[in-house]
Amino acid sequence: MAEINRAIKGTNDMLPTDSHKYQFVEGKMLEIASLYGFREIRVPVFEHTEVFQRSVGDTTDVVQKEMYTFDDKGGRSITLRPELTAGVVRSVIEHGIVNGALPAKVCYIGGCYRYEKPQAGRLREFHQFGVECFGAASPAADAEVISLGLQVLETVGIKNISLEINSIGCPECRKNYHKALSEYFNAHIDTLCETCRDRLSRNPMRILDCKSPVCSSLAKDAPKVIDFLCDDCQNHFDGVKAHLDAAGIEYTVNPQIVRGLDYYTKTVFEFVSGDIGAQSTVCGGGRYDGLVSQMGGPKVHALGFGMGIERLMLALENQKTDFPEPKRCDVYIAPMGEVAAIKATAICTQLRRDGFEAQSDVCGRGLKAQMKYADKIGALFSVVLGDNELTDNVCNIKNMKTGEVQQISLDDFAEQFMKIKHDLVLNSLEDSIV
Ligand code: ATP
Ligand code: MG
């Protein structure tokens, strides 16, 4: 029995008491993305397993350890998406978007699934806001995507956030780098974890991203990819820095950033929060110029980022950020008796059509219990509808905060309510200015 009353480990419920915060943050994400020309895309929660193996890379932690993979009833191997870039790339190839007008800019918000050890800021189901830009080779595009991420973070009110950038080069400059890395790690082969011993011959760069304490301490002194960049990659990286400088965006170059997914090339970056402990990367992204063609599409440049929504919320909560007030019930109509209940339904219907949140009794409760409820939900106004009100066609509307009462006719209730609410908003605005 216990199982059906408890969510799966590493998953979170977003409760109605918090939804206004998520709606605010997610609303800003899409709104700001649209200022940069990014339009929303929605892709499935699951894909053929190869979509992730081919793109994220089969020597990464994500593919080797973290994917939720299963065979469906038709015997196909299916995986719950651990991130959205792979599915988005599959989609933009399938629908010919990368053959159309470029750059093509898309953004998304969606759930991701990774079998990881749950802890603060590390969940098995989490959500990402992300953007992807296809067909843009210039360093201006890298700076634009970074600037978008920063604007989102600043707009939702985050403080104490820093931008770290690096370049991990292209396959060309990586040849020499892989050689240097292999030499370095070969000298320490006995101390590497088992997974990394295997990575040493297949993809030594992945060792830099290993979370095991021994491998990560060895990684600190390993050769840095930034010292092996070819001219083209070095020029691109210099260009990104020049554009960031022009945009007035502060950053530090952190040669340790390699990112945990195989598809990155050239620029990689992270936004790191000083307020959420060990899981401090709120947003990570970069360029992945080879991925679209590797997935069967045309040769187009591409870049993007993924921002962890739960980690961002954690940082905002820890910083005691002020969110906009949650929406409240505008008016609660408390009917006494059947006839009044019918009238209440008519009034509420009109109020809602006019855009007000109106509630009435749907439990068959007495007046006292109804008023208690109206109080609990923080209704701004309340109205009691009894026999007298129905006969006179007038009722009293009460401001629940001040206790002030006004008369209002039942016939054009919604119209008059508009004026009452308008006055309330004006008064509270005046109060906040004083
Ligand atoms: P980490 O190094 O923390 O494991 P990652 O490199 O695996 O992160 P990405 O794959 O780049 O992360 O995902 C982008 C963002 O998604 C991260 O910066 C983080 O904010 C968020 N994220 C990743 N994994 C999780 C998770 N298990 N729980 C919550 N958020 C996550
Ligand atoms: Mg990870």
Residue whose CA is at the smallest distance from ligand 1 atom 3: 279
Structure tokens at 78: 């299916």
**Closest ligand (CA of 258):** 1
Mean pLDDT over the full length of the chain: 95
Q: Which fold has domain 331-421?
A: Rossmann fold (3.40.50)
Which range (61-70, 162-171, 202-211) has the least confidence? 202-211
Ligand 1, closest atom to CA 285?
A: 11
Q: Where are the beta strands (DSSP E) in 229-377?
A: 252-253, 265-273, 281-287, 302-308, 331-335, 358-360
Parse the chain into domains and list their residue ranges: 3-170+230-318, 331-421
Ligand 1 centroid – CA 307 distance (Å): 8
Ligand 1 centroid – CA 279 distance (Å): 8
Beta bridge partners of 47: 79
CATH topology identical between 3-170+230-318 and 331-421: no
Please tell me the number of Cα atoms within 13 Å of 308 on its side-chain side. Answer: 27
Structure tokens at 214: 């021994």
Radius of gyration, CA atoms only, the chain: 28
Residue whose CA is at the smallest distance from ligand 1 atom 29: 122
Helix (H/G/I), strand (E/B), else coil: 399 = strand
Indicate whether 424 pLDDT > 70: yes
Query: What's the average model confidence in pLDDT over 56-79?
Result: 94
pLDDT tens digits, 174-212: 889 999 999 999 999 999 999 899 999 888 998 988 888
Indicate whether 433 pLDDT > 80: no
pLDDT at 101: 96
pLDDT at 1: 58
Query: What's the average model confidence in pLDDT over 154-166?
Result: 96
| Structure confidence at residue 430 as a pLDDT band (50, 70, 90) | confident
pLDDT tens digits, 229-273: 999 999 999 999 999 999 999 999 999 898 878 888 999 999 999
Q: Residue 205 — φ and ψ, nearest 5°?
A: -65, -30
Indicate whether 278 pLDDT > 90: no
- In the sheet that holds 161-167, the strands lie side by side as 39-40, 104-113, 125-134, 302-308, 281-287, 265-273, 161-167, 252-253
Indicate whether 434 pLDDT > 70: no
pLDDT tens digits, 352-390: 999 999 999 999 999 999 999 999 999 999 999 999 999
pLDDT at 2: 67
Query: What's the average model confidence in pLDDT over 281-304?
Result: 97
**Residue 259: its H or E element:** none
Which range (100-109, 171-180, 245-254, 339-348) has the least confidence? 171-180
Cα–Cα distance, 232 to 408 (Å, whole number)? 74
pLDDT at 345: 97
Ligand 1, closest atom to CA 83?
A: 10
Ligand 1 centroid – CA 211 distance (Å): 13
pLDDT at 308: 98
Class of domain 3-170+230-318: alpha beta
Query: What's the average model confidence in pLDDT over 327-340?
Result: 97
pLDDT tens digits, 6-26: 999 999 999 999 999 999 999
* Four-point Cα dihedral 220, 222, 224, 228, nearest 10: 180
pLDDT at 325: 93
pLDDT tens digits, 40-57: 999 999 999 999 999 999
The residue with tokens 């219990």 is 369
User: Going by C-beta distance under 8 Å and a sequence separation of 6 or more, which residues neighbour residue 97?
Assistant: 91, 104, 106, 134
Ligand 1 centroid – CA 326 distance (Å): 29
**DSSP letters along 103-140, please?**
SEEEEEEEEEE-----BTTB-SEEEEEEEEEES--SHH
> Residues 327-363, buried b or exposed e (16+ Cβ, 10 A)?
eebbbbbbbbeeebbebbeebbeebeeeebbbbbbee
Residue ranges lining ligand 1, Cβ < 6 Å: 83, 114, 116, 121-123, 126, 128, 260-261, 279, 281-284, 306, 308, 310-311
